[in-house]
A and B are shown apart, each in its own frame.
Chain A
Amino acid sequence: MIEIELIPLIILVPLLWASLAFIAGPAHGWKLALGGSTLQLVLAWRLAAEVGGGADRVHVPGGWEAPLGIALSADGLAAVMLLLAQGVALPLAFYARAYFARHPEGAHTFWPLTGFLLAAMNALFLSADIFNLYVTLELVGLAAVGLVASGGAGSVAAALRYLLATLLGSGSYLLGVALLYGAYGTVTLPELASQVTEASPPVAMLAAGLMLAGMAVKTALFPFHFWLPPAHGGAPSPVSALLSALVIKASFYLAARLWLALFLPLATPSWGQVIGVLGAAAIFWGSFMALRQARLKMLIAYSTVAQVGYLFLFFPLATHTEPAAAQSALQGVTLQALAHGLAKAAMFAAAGAVILSTGHDRIMQLGGITAHMPVTVFTLAIAGVSLMGLPPSAGFLAKWLLIDSAIVSGQWWWIVVMIAGGLLTAAYVFKVLRHAFLRAEQSEVYKPLPRLVEWPGFLLAVASLALGLRAAELLNVLGTP
């Protein structure tokens, strides 16, 4: 049995097919993408199986042990995030193939950009070196901006806003890296972790603040969320799905990873509360703005702003609280990332289907789609169930774990926030569904849709529901922090 090095392969495979897709052009790019993504999913599955239950895997490029070389490592959290990335990417690849066949704008750069995006995300999840993480962050950011820009003349301003915001975030992160390297002489996470204690010089706290602030900007945490709605709402639908489901999770993952691996000794509960308040503000503001949108894709984009808020509740719940509370918080947030990733990808896929069929996505004129594209409406409904946090979806389980963590740590006010958030989510989900079930207007024309446009989204939505039933295995892989 050949010992396959899973960690480097899962990064090299997408790099390879992305480069080949660049040469081959869109006519063949999709074949490379589908083959490559399938292989990546298999690799991620294998890795999750090996890592599950606490057996971390390490890979040392060049054979140079850290701190001289770069450290790559896969623990439970990394394995789960890899599964999310490949698991969402594969159905979206099928969807994108069908979407661009109808609506070719943006197709000629989509496949190589997506390949590089996946390679970058995989590299980010597996890296344990803070400078290497900077390079992967930039890779993710530039790929995402490129994807937004491929949407044509209407997305150029949104892409540039996104680019400048993401550069501000990674620049801030880089200064943090510079300070840490100057203070401790190494960029390897485990080594840094052993050196950062409560008695660290002020430089460490400053670096922590800079790096986390940078990640907050990149994850569009309130009040840095201004760039997200135009970028996610205005991009072609396959791109919006990738951005909301995956890219946003990468910078959040890094924030959580840095917090857990490095900055916990420096953190005070009050800082955790401050971040939690911003998360709560995101939930309320995002949901409120979602309700006010006239276009479906903008509603879904603001919903992302809101759901990101739930992710940041991790910080107050896991900072210097009981181990049981911290464990539940990590599990809840990871499950939320997965559930949201699947559900949001499904929703954007459905919105894209609506646009392909009717030519627009105005919510007020959604009436009649139930008769003409029932699969799409089902997708929206099921994804909405997960977003709202209704049982038995993964979204429900995620919020349950977070509420459990809040109870154990005695921070009952977050429970109020989460329940209110759930109600607001229900409000905008039902707004969409209500219009979808109305009768069609006379003037609407519905072009028939090929199956590959509707079913990948449906599959993703069902997955976010089914994940709730099989979450125990996933949490097993995650292990204990």
Chain B
Amino acid sequence: MTPGLLFALTGIALFSSGVAGLILQTHLLRKIIAFNVMGSGAFLVLVGLAQRSGEPDPVSQAMVLTGIVVSIAATALALALARRLLNLTGEMRFPAEGQDD
């Protein structure tokens, strides 16, 4: 069990919990945090699995750097939308399903 493999397995656990949280949580901030957990899990798998034999791999590290930036962008957008929704409805939750407006 190399460190790389351990990172990858942790990443898998994080990814799965992140997905569950994203779907099941109702509070918007928790959904966004769950998305970040999910993303971090995927990054850990990417780096850990590529380096499971012990040698450092610059390509996977560069890919994760790119992924982190993309994550920031997505999180910022999600937070902005959630804040606006809070301003409009007073709650950090999706409004109940009402079809007509």
Binds B, one of A1-9, A98-106, A157-165, A435-443: A157-165
Interface residues of B (CB under 8 A from A): 8, 11, 15, 18-19, 22-23, 28, 31, 35, 38-39, 41-43, 45-46, 48-50, 52, 60, 63, 66-67, 70, 73-74, 77-78, 81-82, 84-85, 88, 94-95, 99-101
User: Do B45 and A182 touch (CB < 8 A)?
Assistant: yes
User: Do A182 and B35 touch (CB < 8 A)?
Assistant: no
User: Do B82 and A160 touch (CB < 8 A)?
Assistant: yes
Say what secondary structure dominates the interface of chain B. helix
Which one of B18, B35, B99, B101 has the highest number of Cβ atoms from chain A below 10 Å of its Cβ?
A: B99
Contact partner of B35 (CB less than 8 A), chosen from A131, A141, A171, A294, is A171
- Give 14 new A-B contacts, CB below 8 A, not counting A146-B77, A160-B85, A171-B42: A131-B63, A145-B77, A149-B77, A154-B101, A156-B81, A160-B94, A161-B94, A163-B77, A171-B19, A175-B15, A175-B45, A178-B46, A179-B45, A182-B46
| Residue A269 lies at the interface, judged by CB distance under 8 Å to chain B | no
Contacts known (A131-B63, A156-B88); A178 close to B45, Cβ less than 8 A: yes
- Distance A161 CA – B81 CA, assembled complex (angstroms): 10
Contacts of B23 in A (CB 8 A): 168
- Distance A294 CA – B99 CA, assembled complex (angstroms): 10
Contacts known (A167-B35, A174-B42); A160 close to B49, Cβ less than 8 A: no
Contacts known (A142-B74, A174-B42, A295-B100); A182 close to B8, Cβ less than 8 A: yes
| Residue A471 lies at the interface, judged by CB distance under 8 Å to chain B | no
- Distance A294 CA – B49 CA, assembled complex (angstroms): 52
User: Do A156 and B35 touch (CB < 8 A)?
Assistant: no
User: Do A168 and B19 touch (CB < 8 A)?
Assistant: yes
User: Do A174 and B39 touch (CB < 8 A)?
Assistant: yes
Within 8 A of B (CB), among A202-256: 234
Contacts of B94 in A (CB 8 A): 157, 160-161
